[in-house]
Structure 1
C-alpha cells in the first residue's frame, strides 16, 4: 500500500447539516459564507456554455406550498414502498460485505437520506452501529480523494460501501468506477466500485432496492430533505489541495427542514417489511450475474438520436431526475412511456403547471425522461 494516504493535513469534519451527528458525518468544506448561487436561466446558460456545474450553485428557494404538498402526498403514498426498498438493498449489502469492517459512504447529497436510512435499518436489524460519511463525487471531476483518505485513516480496514439515491443513465456509477481505478493506481488501495442505490431503473447497479421508476419523495425537495446541504462545489479558487470538496449549510431554512421528518416517516415500516425484503434480496443475489446491462443508457442514446440532441447531459431519465428538471432547470419537453402510468401523476402535474409539452415515447426503461432546453439552438 502506498503510504501517501497518511501524508498531508486533512481537516477534522466540520459540523454541517441538520442530521444527527450519529446518523452521518459530512466530509465537506463549509462554504456557507459565500454567494455561489446563480438564477436558473443564468446557470443553465453558463453550464451549456462550458462552465462546470460544480463551480456554482442553483438558487435554493423556500419550497412552495404546492411542492410541500407534493412531497407530503408522495411520502404518505410511498413510505412503505421506500422502506421495503431500503430493507432489500440493506440485506444485500450485509450479505455481500458482512458487518465487521463495513463503512457506509453516501454520495452527497441525494445519496445521504438513503445512506442514513440504510444505517438505521442495519442498526435496528443487526444491532450494529456502522460509521456513515457523506462525501462529494462530481461528474467530469471525480470523487473527493481527501475524504476517502480521511475515512481510510480513521478506519484502516474499512470495507467501503458507496451509496446513492437512484440511477439515471449511470453517469455517477461510471465516475465512481473511474475514481476507484484512479485511487488504486495512485495509492495501491483497491476500493469496490459497487454502488448501492434505492432504485436502479437504468440497470447500471448490481445492488439496488428496486428497479421500479417511481417518485422517491426526497427527489421532490432540495436541501430541505438532504440535511440542509447544498450541492457540492469544486472550484480551484475555493478548494485547496488538502481541502474536502465544498458545500453550503443552509441554516436559514431550519424551519422548513423535512430531513429528519422524512426519515421518521419511513423508519416505522422497517419491522413490517423485513421478512419480505429478505426473500427479495436473496432472489436478487442469486441472479446478480445479469444485474448490470446499462439498458437505460441505450434508451438515452436512442432519444438523443431521435430528437437530435447534441449533449447527452441534457437528457435526464427517470421520475426523480425529471422532477428535478421541472423544479430546477429550463425544461424543453417531457417524454413518458405511458400517460396512464400511476407513477407519473406528479410529473404530469408539474409539467402542466410549467407549461412544458409532454410526448408519449413508448418502450422506455424509465417511466419518463426530462429534456433540458438546449439554449444554444434558440
Structure 2
C-alpha cells in the first residue's frame, strides 16, 4: 500500500444520505496496521465550512472519542448544511499513513441517513490556519487527491461500523485492459425457451438484483418495464432467467459475459392507470470450481466487521465468481457472497454496484 504524508488532510463532502444535516463519527489513520493516536494536543488547526457547536470539526479526528452511543462531542456534524462542506485538519507535525478507516454518522444507532456520502480527500504539505481555507472545492496548494468515492451508510445499530477506504493508487487493475472511463456497460435479460420448445426471449430491464453463492442457492429478481411481454414470459415457466453484461466502445465489444442465471420462479405484475411492470424472481444452486485470483479495480469502499470483509465496486466485475480469491489494496480474501444491483432509467442512465463479502 502507498504511504501518504500529510501536514493537512482535507475532506470535501458533497452530500449525505438524507436529512437536515451531515454527521461523520470518526476519521482514523493507520500505518502498517497500527492506529495513529491523535489527541487535541496533536492538532494545530481544525475547521469546517459549517459545524454544530457540540460537534466540532476536531471531534472527527481525536481517536480517543467513542464511536458508539451519544454523538454530541463525539463526532463532527454540521449545523443544518447538507452539501458542499469542507472539513480540514492540520496536524502539529506531519503524519504518515497507508490506510484511512472511517465510521460514518449515527446517533445511538439511529439517524444513519445523516452520514456522509460522496467525498473527496486530499493531503497537503501546507498548514491551514484560518477560515478562508474552508471553502468547498477551492484549489489546495501542494495537495494530492487520495480518495474520490462514496462512504458507506452506517449500519442500523449502536455499534462500531468501520469502513477501510480504498485510497487512490492502492487498487490494481484486473483482466483485460478495459478503459472504464471510455467504455459503456450494457445489460440484457434472456429467458431461455428450449425447455418449453420455444425460442429464447429477450426482455427489457428497468432493474435487477442478484445474490450469488457457491454451493448454495443463488437468487435473482428482475423488473421488466411495461406489460407487453407478460404472455410471452409465462409461456416459458421451465426456462432460465439469464443476465448478460457487455462492455463496449462504440461498436467494438471489449468484454462480455454472464453475471447471473437462475431457474424461472415467480412471475408477478403490477399495473396502475399510468404504467405497469413485471417482476421475475428465481433461484438456482450452482457450484463454482475455478478458484482463481481476481485483482479488483473500481473499488469505492471496503469494511471489516465481525470477521467479514466487504468490498464495493462501482460496476460489476465480469471475471469474479463465488469461491474466487479477491485481491485489493494489499489484502486478499475468498468471495463468499456476491451481490449485484443495477437500475436503468427510462432515458438509459445506468446506476450499478457490486458488493463482495467473505473471509
Same fold (TM over 0.5): no
Return the structure number with greater strand share. 2
Query: Which structure exhibits the higher relative contact order, with contacts defined as CA atoms closer than 8 Å and separated by 6 or more residues?
Result: 1
Return the structure number with greater helix share. 1
Q: TM-score range by the shorter chain?
A: under 0.3
Which one has a bigger Cα radius of gyration?
A: 2
TM-score, length basis structure 1: 0.25
